[in-house]
Structure 1
Amino acid sequence: MTDNVIVAEGLVKHFGKVKAVNGVDLVLPRGTVLGVLGPNGAGKTTTVRMLTTLLTPDSGYATVGGYDVVREAESVRKIMGVSGQYAAVDEYLTGRENLDMFGRLYHLGAKEAKRRANELLERFSLTDAADRTAKTYSGGMRRRLDLAASLVIRPEIIFLDEPTTGLDPRSRLGMWDVIRDLVRGGASLLLTTQYLEEADALADEIVIIDHGHVIAKGTSDQLKSQVGGERIQFRVAEQAMIPKASSAVLDVTGNTPEIDQETHTISAPVSGGARSLVGIVNALDGVGIEAQDVGLRRPTLDEVFLALTGRKAEEGQDEQ
C-alpha cells in the first residue's frame, strides 16, 4: 500500500436524473482522519458506497489500499472495515453472538472468532451486556457494537459513515474517544458527518461536499481562514438595542454583522484584532450601549459552510 490509502478521482454516480455524486476527488494519507462534511443529500453516503465496493461508479477512478474498487473489489473488502449510518447488527442475537458471527463470516475459525469477540467486547465496554440481545441496547451501545463488528479483522482502513447520528451528547463524545483510539492504534479513517463540530474535533483534513461536488478542502484552520481571520462577538441586554449596536459595528468594521435575535448576540468579522475590539467597544459606549460577553474568536465551521453554500449544514434532503 502507498502512503495514500484512499485515492478517488472524478467519482460520478447518477440515479436517473439525480446527480448524487458529480466529480468527487479525495485523498486519505495513511494514519490520518479525513472528514467528509456536508448536509443530508450532499453525496457523502453514495461516495462511501462506491469506495467500499457497494456501488459501481458511473465514471471516475478510486483505489483503497492500492486496490482498484471496481477491478479488485474482493481485495478491497479484505482490508477495510465499514460502519454505516445504521447499525448492521442482528438485534435478536446477543452482543457476543453478533461479533462471533462476524468473525465466522470473515473465516477466522470458531476459536479465533470467539477470542476476537471477547477482546472487542472488552475494548468497547460491552462485556457486562455481552449476553443480552442487541435489541435491549441503547443507541450508543448499538453503535459501539456495530463499530466493533467492523474491526473484527483488524482493518487498517476504516470507513465511518455518520457514526454518531442519533446519539445523545454523552454517547457522541464516547464515540469520539473510540475514534481517537483507533487512530492512535495506526488506523486510517474516512469519516462522513453532518456535524461540523465533529469534523473540527476529529479530522486532520476536511472535504466539504455539497450537491455532489467538492466545494472546499483543507484543514479546519485553513477552511476557517476563508471566511476571515477573527470575529468579534458580544451580547446586548435588550433586543431593542440590537439595531443601534449593529449600526455601530458596521461603522467600525465595514461588515454587516450577524444577529441572533433570541440571545441578543451580534458578531462580525474584524481585521484589526484587539484594535478593532477597542474601537467597537468605544463606538458602543458612544451610543450608550454596554456590551456583554465581548470578545474575539475564530469563525466556526458552521460559518464556513454558510459562507460557502449560502445555507446551514443541516439544511438538505436525504440521498436517493
Structure 2
Amino acid sequence: MSQPNAERLDVRLVQIRLEADDVASYEFRPIDVPMLPAFEAGAHIDLHLPENRVRSYSLLNDPHERHRYVIAVQREASGRGGSAWMHNTPRVGDRFTISAPLNDFPLNEQAKNSVFICGGIGITPVVSMIRRLERLGAKWQLHFAARHRARAAYAEELALLPESDNRVKLHLESDGARVDIRRLVSDAPAGTHFYCCGPRGMVDDFIASCADLPQEQVHFERFAAASDSATEGGFDIVLQKSGKRIPVQPGKTILDALLDQGVDVQYACCAGVCGTCRTGVVDGVPDHRDDFLTDEEKAGNTAVMVCCSGASSKTLVLDL
C-alpha cells in the first residue's frame, strides 16, 4: 500500500469520533490550501507518526469530497504501537503530515453489480466504495462480518441507506453467523465484481471461492501477508554502509533486530503488504514472506520486506 516517495501534505486534525469498540475515526482538513487532492474510492493515505513510523489507512469518506479526508483506526493490542498511539495521543487541532492518496484497491465503476465482503476494520475502504456507487446509482450488496454488533463500525450508518434491508447483511460471530463466500459467489449474476477486505482467513477463502472467475472481476486487500512472518532467526544481517553485523535471534524478525540496534528504517504495516520497509539486498538469499513483491522480484532477490521476511542464507547483506 505505502509508497515512500509519495507527495506529502500538511493537514490538521479537526475531529476524533468513536465509531465502534476500539475503533475511532479521524477527520483531517487542509492547512495551507483550500482543497485536498482528489481521490478515488478504495484509496489510502500514509500517516507519518513519531519515531519514523508510517501507517497506511483507507479513506472512508465520499470521494466527491475535497475539503477533508477521514480514516478509521482500530486499536491493535498485538501491534507495534501505531494504533495505540493514535488512540491515546492525538488531540483535535494537532498538525499531521500525510501522503497524497494512493490506490491499490480500486473500484470498477462500470460493473453491473458489485458484492462487498469484509471483516472488522476492513469495512473502511468499502464505505467509500459504497458512497461512490450510491452517487452513480449502481447495484451493490454488502456482507459485513464482525465479532459482535458493538465492534461493527459504520453498520448503523449503512443501515440508513435506501433498501438497506436487501443490500446490507451483518454476520455476527456472537450469533454464530458466518459469511458463506462460496455460495455468494455462485449465486451472484454473471459479470458481478467481488471485493474483499479483512483478516487472512477471510481473504484466503475469498480467493479460493473466486478461483474460477475472470481475474478482472476479483478484487481484494489484505491486512497481513498470506504467510506467517519469519521469526526463526539464526542468521546475521550485515549493513553494507557501515559493515555492522547484527544477529537475528529466534523469535525476532529482521525489523525487530534492526530497531533493537537503533537502525533508522521506515516501516508501516509490519505485515508484508504495504511496501514501506522494502530494503535492497546486496548479497544473500531472503526468505520472502510478504505479499507485496511480485514473484519475479522475489526470484531476483534484490529486495526484501524486513518486517516479515527472513533469510535462507546464514548472512543477508542489506543496502543500509
Higher relative contact order structure (alpha carbons within 8 Å, sequence separation ≥ 6) = 1
Larger fraction in helix: 1
State which structure, 1 or 2, has the greater radius of gyration over its C-alpha atoms.
1
Whether TM exceeds 0.5 here: the answer is: no
TM-score normalised over the length of structure 2: 0.29
